[in-house]
């Protein structure tokens, strides 16, 4: 085991060909016979090659200053709102160095997109949310100008860091040179990067994002699971939001996926009355004409609950319930539930 | 103590003052309208009792009593302003409508109800539309009668022409010695009672789901589902059509004849189709079956009712026309059939056959497998160690842990199947008409895979396998693309056939989180 540690320590020297002949030979022999060290060595080499692919860029003055300060070479400069960290973060061995490089690339892209959004997009009056790639690249306390998710975005090259980290998936590249004389060119492309948005379920940005995703059939797979997650989160009265309810109502009306419609009506029926009241029409429509009996069944059960809780049902609702109760070819369970809802309607005296 | 008494006194004073402020006033008026012989009188009175009686008079003579209730003078005046009578029509058809009444649909802080006492020419036809009342009574009218109501009873007496009465929460009472026209009496939550002379000839249709059908007249006929069709006395005559979804229907004899003591349930008079071998059958009316533990086998059938048994130490055979079925543990074979309603089944030791025409099905475990079917709803099976077939007419299918072969099919919904971690190979067939198929297998799972995606969006709907070894082909068929992945994984094994239309197929080896199951 101690030999493994020694070999691991020697790996950087082996990479840079700084070992003497004897120790180099011993190290190679150990790596060939020890599986763990072999894997470690492969990871080192892969990282080394990845680093070799990265372009060399000048170190920004601020970073350089911080590094020299930390190394004790330059005098300490303390900004007003910052205190120098005395913590020493040890370099950890990472067997999957490729992931680190990819994460860094995503961080670069997200950061670039943030700057671009800051410059090019219209200001949006929404609650800010934290955008990160899994490991926070910005401190939570950092002040963000809200940026919007957009279908397309235009940005200046100056706003984009010259470093491209990892190998982000770029496709459908087009070159644009609108004016040959202005010494400006454009390159347009699609890029796939993974975003993680964190925030309180009540944040308007979060609500809007989830509503958009709910209404977009292809955005969530499997959708039923996603709906279940929404149900668990937003049936809590503390997080209930009309926008989510409206999105669910749209799903109930329009989604061709029956499993999803079943989840949507289930979710709608668990929303607090104050939020769900705007979506009653969707329930009525579902009860009236959804081809899936389970959707109709859950819709009528939701209406029974409404009536039982003393909510005033609209004439359209009452008519639909009445028609359902009397409809001979409707499922008996649905008819009985409709009758149950009707029996809750009493005249005001 | 004094302070508390003072507070109580103040509260009582305020309450008393506020209750004293409720204004309630009744105004009376009389109206008179000409109506030609055979003419029609139409009264639309949303709230309040109505009494219309046919008499030897030439005109319509109506008295009305308007009662206005409001919490204060301002609202009382508002109620008075917004209420009134609307008169329309001519001598052939006379229409009176009381306007701006309060109903439960649009509550206002005040109520206005109008009670009508009307005398119409005997030859007149009458139509009454109401929402809520204690009673609507129409009697001695020779023309057609048409009544619709929501809450409150409808009483019809001595009507000789075609009669139609419909309510939702009220009961309907019909009393005519010999009907001369067809009669339709229909309610949802109330009861229907028709009293007709014992020697009258007529056809009788009675329809109820949760109620009983009873009579003391000599009926003959048969049941078609929950509907009885038969006749009384000589064949022919008008049809008396009585229906109540949730209440009882009674046909009684008037003018002597059979005594009230001779009233019997129609299913006991005529032949009823019964379930052979069922130890307990409820043919009419709602009948729930709720037990904690049953030490023998259970056979139970009902046209409507919930079945809830925590433990059955034998076999179970359950049928319900509509209702929920919840069984905890069944030590033998289990057969559950519902024509509508969700099923929730626990540990089933024997072969399982569960089906419902509408509703979700949740099964904790089935040791010997079986068949689970819903015409619409989701199916969740947490564990199976026997070959199991799952079919949904529309809804997701989830099998949390399968230690035997699985055949799952849904017309629309996702299918997610997790193979038991100890299984080396299992036969799996999963097919969805719209949605995704996700099969989670152990890393060493061997299979001969044949997976097909039919899609119009080949870039969006994709095939992903965590285990290599499959070759993927694409074929354009008309406007759709057929993506097919075939081959052996981990050296091959049982056949895994997957098909998704408009969705993804994934064969994954990742760990699966705990299942969150929504129980009723």
CB of A295 less than 8 A from some CB of B: yes
Render A256-278 in DSSP notation, one character per residue: --HHHHHHHHHHHHHS-HHHHGG
CB of B104 less than 8 A from some CB of A: yes
Last residue of a domain, one of B223, B244, B273: B273
- H or E element: which one contains B72? none
Whether residue B8 is contained in a domain is answered as no
A145-200 pLDDT, tens digit each: 667 777 788 888 888 888 887 778 888 888 888 788 888 888 888 887 777 888 88
- H or E element: which one contains B49? none
Last residue of a domain, one of B273, B298, B329: B273
Please tell me the distance from the alpha carbon of residue B154 to that of residue B172, in angstroms, as a whole number: 5
| Angle of helix A315-326 versus helix A280-289 axis, rounded to 10 | 20
Which pLDDT score is estimated for B55?
92
User: Model-level pTM greater than 0.90?
Assistant: no
Pair B124, B200 in one domain? no
CB of A291 less than 8 A from some CB of B: yes
Pair B207, B266 in one domain? yes
Which pLDDT score is estimated for A75?
57
Share of chain A above pLDDT 70, in %: 70
Pair B72, B176 in one domain? no
CA distance B444 to chain A (A): 22
CA distance A332 to chain B (A): 6
Do A343 and B396 lie within an 8 Å CB cutoff?
A: no
Which pLDDT score is estimated for B442?
92
Pair B23, B142 in one domain? yes
CB A107: neighbour CB atoms within 10 A?
Answer: 20
Pair B23, B128 in one domain? yes
Question: Tokens 């028609």 correspond to what residue?
Answer: A323
Query: pLDDT tens track of chain B, all 520 residues?
Result: 445 554 554 444 444 444 446 788 888 889 899 999 889 999 998 889 999 999 999 899 999 998 888 888 888 888 787 778 888 889 899 999 887 554 445 567 788 888 999 999 999 999 999 988 889 999 999 999 999 999 999 999 999 899 999 999 999 999 999 999 999 999 999 999 999 988 888 999 999 888 889 998 888 888 887 788 888 887 788 999 999 999 999 999 886 555 666 788 887 776 544 333 334 555 455 678 888 888 888 899 888 889 999 889 899 999 998 889 999 899 999 999 999 999 999 999 999 999 999 999 999 999 999 999 999 999 999 999 999 999 999 999 999 999 999 999 999 999 999 999 889 999 999 999 988 999 999 999 999 999 999 988 887 788 989 998 899 999 888 888 999 999 999 999 999 999 999 888 999 987 654 444 444 5
Whether residue B177 is contained in a domain is answered as yes
Residues facing B86 on adjacent strands: B97
Whether residue B475 is contained in a domain is answered as no
Please tell me which residue, B447 or A142, carries the higher pLDDT value.
Answer: B447
How many residues are there in chain B?
A: 520
Do A334 and B516 lie within an 8 Å CB cutoff?
A: no
CB A61: neighbour CB atoms within 10 A?
Answer: 8
Pair B218, B126 in one domain? no
Pair B140, B189 in one domain? no
List of domains in chain A: 2-53 (no CATH), 98-195 (no CATH), 199-343 (1.25.10.10)
Please tell me the distance from the alpha carbon of residue B367 to that of residue B382, in angstroms, as a whole number: 11
- β-strand B84-89 against B59-70: which pairing, if any? unpaired
CB of A312 less than 8 A from some CB of B: yes
CA distance B151 to chain A (A): 7
Which pLDDT score is estimated for B493?
93
Pair B129, B189 in one domain? no
Pair B107, B175 in one domain? no
pLDDT at A50 over 70: yes
Pair B199, B265 in one domain? yes
Pair B24, B141 in one domain? yes
pLDDT at A249 over 80: yes
Displacement of CA B333 from its chain's centroid (Å): 30
- As to burial, measured by CB atoms within 10 angstroms (0-12 exposed, 13-18 middle, 19+ buried), residue B361 is buried
CB of A324 less than 8 A from some CB of B: no
Whether residue B453 is contained in a domain is answered as no
Whether residue B442 is contained in a domain is answered as no
- β-strand B145-148 against B163-166: which pairing, if any? parallel
The SS3 call for residue B95 is strand
- As to burial, measured by CB atoms within 10 angstroms (0-12 exposed, 13-18 middle, 19+ buried), residue A171 is exposed
Which pLDDT score is estimated for B18?
47
For residues A261-293, one letter each, b for 16 or more C-beta atoms within 10 angstroms of the residue's C-beta and e for the rest, the string is bbbbbbbbbbbeeebbeebbebbbbbbeebebb
- What Å distances lie between residue B101 and A348, B48, B80, B111, B116, CA to CA? 11, 10, 11, 7, 14
Total structural domains within chain B = 2
Share of chain A above pLDDT 90, in %: 4
Whether residue B317 is contained in a domain is answered as no
Question: Tokens 């409508």 correspond to what residue?
Answer: B97
Q: Which residues of A touch B413 (CB under 8 A)?
A: 224, 257-260, 262
Do B102 and A325 lie within an 8 Å CB cutoff?
A: no
CA distance A31 to chain B (A): 28
Residues facing B214 on adjacent strands: B250, B265
The 8-class DSSP code of residue B21 comes to T
Whether residue B165 is contained in a domain is answered as no
- H or E element: which one contains A144? none
Which pLDDT score is estimated for B276?
33
Q: Which residues of A touch B435 (CB under 8 A)?
A: 222, 257, 259
A120-132 pLDDT, tens digit each: 433 333 334 444 4
Pair B137, B191 in one domain? no
Whether residue B290 is contained in a domain is answered as no
Last residue of a domain, one of B149, B182, B200: B149
Which pLDDT score is estimated for A82?
43
Range of the domain at B232: 171-273
Which pLDDT score is estimated for A137?
42
Q: Which residues of B touch A333 (CB under 8 A)?
A: 322-323, 338-341, 358-359
CB of A307 less than 8 A from some CB of B: no
Please tell me the distance from the alpha carbon of residue A325 to that of residue A323, in angstroms, as a whole number: 5
Render B255-321 in DSSP notation, one character per residue: SSSS-GGG-EEHHHHS-----TT-SEEE-SS---EEEEEESS-EEEEESS--EEEEEESS-EEEEES
Do B131 and A347 lie within an 8 Å CB cutoff?
A: yes
Kindly report the CA angle at A91 between A86 and A94, in degrees rounded to 5?
A: 145
């Amino acid at each position: 085991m101690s030999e493994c540690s020694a070999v691991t320590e020697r790996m950087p020297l082996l990479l840079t060909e700084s070992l003497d002949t004897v120790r180099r030979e011993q190290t190679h022999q150990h790596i060939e016979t020890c599986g763990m060290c072999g894997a470690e060595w492969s990871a080192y080499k892969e990282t080394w090659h990845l680093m070799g692919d990265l372009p060399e860029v000048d170190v920004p003055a601020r970073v350089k200053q911080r590094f020299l300060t930390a190394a004790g070479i330059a005098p300490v400069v303390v900004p007003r709102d910052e205190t120098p960290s005395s913590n020493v973060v040890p370099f950890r061995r990472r067997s999957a160095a490729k992931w680190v490089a990819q994460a860094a690339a995503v961080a670069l892209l997200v950061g670039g997109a943030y700057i671009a959004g800051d410059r090019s997009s219209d200001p949006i009056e929404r609650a800010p949310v934290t955008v990160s790639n899994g490991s926070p690249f910005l401190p939570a306390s950092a002040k963000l100008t809200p940026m919007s998710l957009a279908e397309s975005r235009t940005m200046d090259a100056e706003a984009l860091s010259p470093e491209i980290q990892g190998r982000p998936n770029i496709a459908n590249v087009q070159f644009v040179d609108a004016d040959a004389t202005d010494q400006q060119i454009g390159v347009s492309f699609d890029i796939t990067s993974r975003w993680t948005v964190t925030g309180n379920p009540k944040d308007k940005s979060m609500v809007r994002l989830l509503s958009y995703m709910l209404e977009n059939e292809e955005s969530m797979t499997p959708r039923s699971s996603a709906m279940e997650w929404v149900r668990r989160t937003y049936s809590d009265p503390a997080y209930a939001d009309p926008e989510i309810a409206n999105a669910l109502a749209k799903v109930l009306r329009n989604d061709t996926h029956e499993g999803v419609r079943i989840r949507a009506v289930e979710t709608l029926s668990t929303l607090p009355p104050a939020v769900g009241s705007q979506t009653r029409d969707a329930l009525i429509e579902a009860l009236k004409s959804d081809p899936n009996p389970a959707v109709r069944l859950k819709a009528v059960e939701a209406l029974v609950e409404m009536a039982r809780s003393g909510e005033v049902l609209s004439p359209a609702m009452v008519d639909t319930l009445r028609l359902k109760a009397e409809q001979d070819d409707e499922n008996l369970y649905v008819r009985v539930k409709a009758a149950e809802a009707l029996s809750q309607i009493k005249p005001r005296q | 103590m004094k302070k508390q008494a003072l507070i109580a006194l103040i509260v009582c004073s305020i309450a008393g003052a506020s209750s004293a402020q409720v204004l309630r006033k009744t105004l009376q008026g009389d109206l008179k309208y000409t109506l030609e012989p055979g003419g029609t009188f139409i009264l639309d009175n949303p709230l309040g009792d109505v009494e219309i009686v046919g008499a030897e008079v030439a005109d319509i003579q109506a008295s009305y009593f308007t009662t206005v209730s409001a919490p204060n003078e301002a609202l009382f005046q508002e109620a008075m302003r917004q209420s009134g009578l609307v008169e329309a029509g001519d001598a052939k058809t006379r229409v009176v409508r009381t306007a701006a009444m309060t109903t439960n649909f649009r509550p206002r802080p005040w109520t206005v109800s109008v009670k009508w006492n009307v005398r119409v020419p005997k030859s007149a036809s009458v139509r009454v539309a109401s929402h809520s009342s204690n009673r609507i009574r129409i009697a001695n009218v020779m023309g057609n009668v048409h009544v619709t109501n929501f809450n409150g009873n409808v009483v019809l007496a001595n009507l000789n022409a075609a009669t139609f009465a419909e309510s939702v929460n009220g009961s309907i009472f019909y009393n005519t010695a010999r009907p001369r026209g067809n009669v339709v009496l229909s309610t949802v939550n109330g009861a229907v009672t028709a009293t007709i002379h014992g020697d009258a000839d007529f056809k009788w249709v009675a329809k109820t789901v949760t109620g009983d059908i009873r009579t003391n007249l000599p009926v003959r006929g048969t049941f078609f589902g929950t509907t009885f069709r038969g006749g009384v006395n000589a064949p022919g005559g008008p049809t008396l059509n009585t229906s109540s979804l949730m209440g009882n229907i009674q046909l009684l004899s008037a003018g002597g004849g059979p005594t009230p003591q001779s009233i019997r349930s129609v299913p006991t008079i005529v032949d009823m189709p019964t379930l052979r071998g069922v130890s307990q059958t409820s043919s009419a009316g709602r009948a729930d079956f709720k037990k904690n533990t049953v030490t023998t086998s259970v056979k139970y059938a009902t046209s409507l009712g919930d079945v809830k048994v925590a433990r059955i130490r034998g076999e179970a055979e359950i049928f319900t026309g509509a209702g929920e079925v919840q069984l905890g543990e069944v030590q033998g074979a289990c057969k559950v059939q519902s024509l509508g309603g969700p099923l929730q089944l626990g540990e089933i030791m024997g072969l399982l056959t569960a089906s419902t025409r509408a509703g979700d099905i949740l099964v904790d475990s089935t040791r010997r497998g079986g068949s689970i079917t819903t015409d619409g709803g989701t199916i969740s099976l947490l564990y199976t160690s026997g070959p199991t077939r799952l079919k949904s007419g529309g809804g997701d299918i989830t099998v949390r842990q399968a230690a035997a072969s699985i055949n799952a099919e849904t017309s629309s919904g996702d299918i997610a199947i997790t193979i038991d971690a100890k299984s080396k190979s299992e036969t799996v067939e999963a097919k969805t008409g719209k949605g995704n198929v996700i099969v989670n297998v152990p890393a060493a799972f061997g299979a001969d895979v044949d997976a097909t995606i039919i899609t119009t969006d080949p870039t969006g709907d994709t095939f992903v396998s965590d285990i290599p070894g499959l070759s993927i082909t694409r074929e354009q068929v008309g406007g759709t693309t057929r993506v097919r992945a075939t081959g052996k994984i981990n050296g091959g094994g049982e056949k895994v056939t997957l098909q998704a239309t408009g969705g993804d197929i994934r064969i994954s080896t990742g760990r699966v989180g705990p299942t969150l199951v929504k129980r009723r």
